[in-house]
Structure 1
Amino acid sequence: MLTLRLYMLQRITALLMAPLVLGHLAVMIYAVQGGLSAAEILGRTQGSVLWFVFYGLFVVAVAVHGAIGVRAILAEWGGVRGRVLEGAMWLIGLGLFALGARAVWAVTFGGLT
């Protein structure tokens, strides 16, 4: 039953990530074609709750999706089972979340004093 729940959760996060990836790519293409510098981009994202929510949701979806994917790989290819498998999934998921959350905070609120 847990495997089915994780499978469904991974599919739901994939559905969530698809429009977020497209949005991110559209913004990056717009920024590059517009000739915006990194400082100009950060000037537009600093203090923006909208960008914080957009990229925060992206980070949560990626962390969950990636952790479940690595769990499946460890189980199928590595033969890892039980508590080690679950611990690895949680460690990877929390690690991805921590790295992503730090980046989102830095881009949206980190430069504010």
Structure 2
Amino acid sequence: MLTLRLYMLQRITALLMAPLVLGHLAVMIYAIQGGLSAAEILGRTQGSVLWFLFYGTFVLAVAIHGAIGLRTIAHEWGGLRGPALELLMWGIGAGLLALGARAVWAVTFGGML
């Protein structure tokens, strides 16, 4: 039953990430073609709850999706099982979430403190 839940959760996060990736790419193309500098981009994102929610949701989905995917790889290719497999998945997920959350905070609210 756990495997089915993880499978479904990974598919749901993929569905969530698809439009977020497209949105991120569109913003990147706009910024590059507009000739915006890093300072100008940060000037537009600082203090923005909208960008915080957009990229925060993106980071959460990626952390879950990536951790489940790497869990599957570790099980199928590495033969990892049981508590070690679960610990690996949770550790990777927490690490991805922490790194991503730190980046999102820095881009949206970090310069305001």
Partner residue, 2:54: 54
Match of 1:3 in 2: 3
Count of residue pairs the alignment pairs up: 113
- The CA distance in 2 between the partners of 1:43 and 1:112, in whole Å, is 11
After superposition, the C-alpha distances for 1:9-49 in whole angstroms (9 at most, x for unaligned) are: 00000000000000000000000000000000000000000
User: What's the CA shift for 1:70?
Assistant: 0.3
Task: Give, in whole Å, the separation in 1 of the partners of 2:78 and 2:34.
Answer: 46
Instruction: Give unmatched runs, 5+ long, in structure 1.
Output: none
Letter in 2 for 1:98: A
Match of 2:65 in 1: 65
TM-score, length-scaled by structure 2 = 0.99
Q: What secondary structure is seen at the aligned counterpart in 2 of 1:111?
A: helix
Normalised by the length of structure 1, the TM-score is 0.99
Distance of 1:79 and 1:71 partners within structure 2 = 10
Give the Cα–Cα distance (whole angstroms) in 1 for the partners of residues 73 and 32 of structure 2: 36
Which consecutive segments of 4 or more residues in structure 1 shift more than 2 A?
none
Identity of aligned residues (%): 83
Q: How large is the RMSD of aligned CA atoms in angstroms? A: 0.3
Distance 1:78 1:31 in 2: 41
